[in-house]
Amino acid sequence: MSIVADIVVLGSANVDLVVRQPRLPVPGETVAGADFTRVPGGKGLNQAIAAARSGATVAFLGAVGRDELGDSLRRTLRDDGIDTRGLTETDVSTGIAVVSVLDGGENAITVVPGANGAVRTLDDESRAAITRARFLVAQFERPIPLVAQAFEFARGLGIPTVLTPAPVTPLGGDVLALADILVPNAQEACELAGTPDEEVAARELSRGGATVVMTRGGRGVLVAKDGAVTIAVPAREVDPVDTTAAGDTLAGFLIGRLALGDELESALRAAVIAASLAVTRRGASSSIPFWPEVEQLL
């Protein structure tokens, strides 16, 4: 039976090892942590879960190791109704991320890609899944050649492509031109555009043809198209506990609602609310809200 879903996410799947601590240590220093948790994560997995919880049907194209961590990530995806037939098992261990969550909710993350980097070409099953999708979503936590192949294939079929350009890499420049929707945060946008001005960065990135949805944390979201800012959605005021996966929640909800037929501004307002709920909860995928919670606040 072929994979059929509104959204296909070509993305990373990690196990996040999360330590809560007052601050980051300086070299040679030991800092006592407050607590430790292990939760499913990875930008791709987070975005897939957010899209599924927004109400869309989702298929995940990823890679994990033949280990207990990989088994746990497969179960996590399935628990949200996500099609995992495109989740490849490799002899490389499952990816992990070490997340330091600081007092005040900010975080610092170190990623060990593991299996996420082991698959570098698009197989026939993945191509078939993309053929039936309404959107293809990717990030830079998988090999750049793989993302480029997938986007070129989707573009050839007229399927909109969505890219979160994180982490920013010099090798990703050509892929930016293949994205119909670009979802960077402000820092990523400024780095890609070569300017410290966030609005200028959004406008410059949009001149390549993509709709740029720039997330700015507590300052909301800017949308730019054809060199001009077209939409600004303010953030919802909350007391943040953990900002991990806030951007992924916004991206996943945004594309999920677009796939369900919402207009861009309506989808963005829902996505901003979803992200605002996520930052009031601990963890990555565990913090992502479900559609009824968001709908109630709309």
Longest Cα pair distance anywhere in the chain, in angstroms? Answer: 55
d(CA 132, CA 4): 6
* Superfamily for domain range 7-14+43-95+116-297: Ribokinase (3.40.1190.20)
Nearest to 104 by CA among 197, 26, 235, 217: 217
Distance CA 132, CA 261 (A): 17
108 pLDDT band, cuts 50/70/90, is confident
In this predicted structure, what is the pLDDT of residue 86? 96
Find the Cα–Cα–Cα–Cα dihedral 175, 248, 49, 128, rounded to 10°.
Answer: -10
pLDDT at 282 over 90: no
Q: Check residue 130 and give its pLDDT.
A: 97
Give pLDDT tens digits for 9-57.
999 999 989 898 998 888 999 988 888 989 899 999 999 999 999 999 9
Backbone angles phi, psi at 198, to 5 degrees: -65, -45
> DSSP assignment of 204-258, as one string?
HHHTTSPEEEEE-GGG-EEEEETTEEEEEEPPPP---S--TTHHHHHHHHHHHHH
Catalytic residue among 6, 83, 248, 262: 248
H-run or E-run covering 278: helix 264-278
pLDDT at residue 224 greater than cutoff 80:
yes
DSSP class of 292: H
Supply the pLDDT for residue 1: 61
Query: What pLDDT is stored for residue 48 in this prediction?
Result: 98
What's the whole-number average pLDDT of the chain? 94
Report pLDDT for 274: 96
**Is residue 219 part of an annotated ligand binding site?**
yes
* Interatomic CA distance for residues 133 and 60, integer angstroms: 11
Would the annotation count 42 as a binding residue? yes
Range 239-250 average pLDDT: 88
Alpha-carbon distance values, 249 to 69, 116, 184, 283 (Å)? 22, 20, 13, 12
pLDDT given at position 47:
98
What DSSP character marks residue 286? G
Residues 223-236, mean pLDDT to the nearest whole number:
95
Alpha helices in 63-197 (DSSP H): 68-79, 124-131, 144-157, 173-176, 186-193
In the predicted model, is pLDDT for residue 104 greater than 70?
A: yes
Residue 242 annotated as binding? yes
Q: Is 65 annotated as a binding residue?
A: no
Q: What is the mean pLDDT of residues 146-171?
A: 95
pLDDT at 204 over 80: yes
| 217 is an annotated ligand-binding site residue | yes
Annotated ligand binding at 67? The verdict is no
Confidence of residue 283 (pLDDT cuts 50, 70, 90): confident
Q: Is 71 a residue of the active site?
A: no
- Which one-letter amino acid corresponds to residue 179? A
pLDDT tier at 285 (50, 70, 90 boundaries)?
A: confident
pLDDT bucket at 256, cuts 50 / 70 / 90: very high
Taking the CA atoms of residue 268, residue 11, residue 70 and residue 120 in that order, the dihedral angle to the nearest 10 degrees is 180
**231 burial class (0-12, 13-18, 19+ CB within 10 angstroms)?**
middle
266 among annotated binding-site residues: no
Which of 241 and 205 is assigned the larger pLDDT? 205
pLDDT of residue 107: 81
In angstroms, the CA 157 to CA 8 distance is 14
Q: Is 283 annotated as a binding residue?
A: yes
Specify the 3-state DSSP secondary structure of 137. strand
Is the confidence at residue 278, as pLDDT, over 80? yes
Nearest to 134 by CA among 165, 163, 151, 158: 158
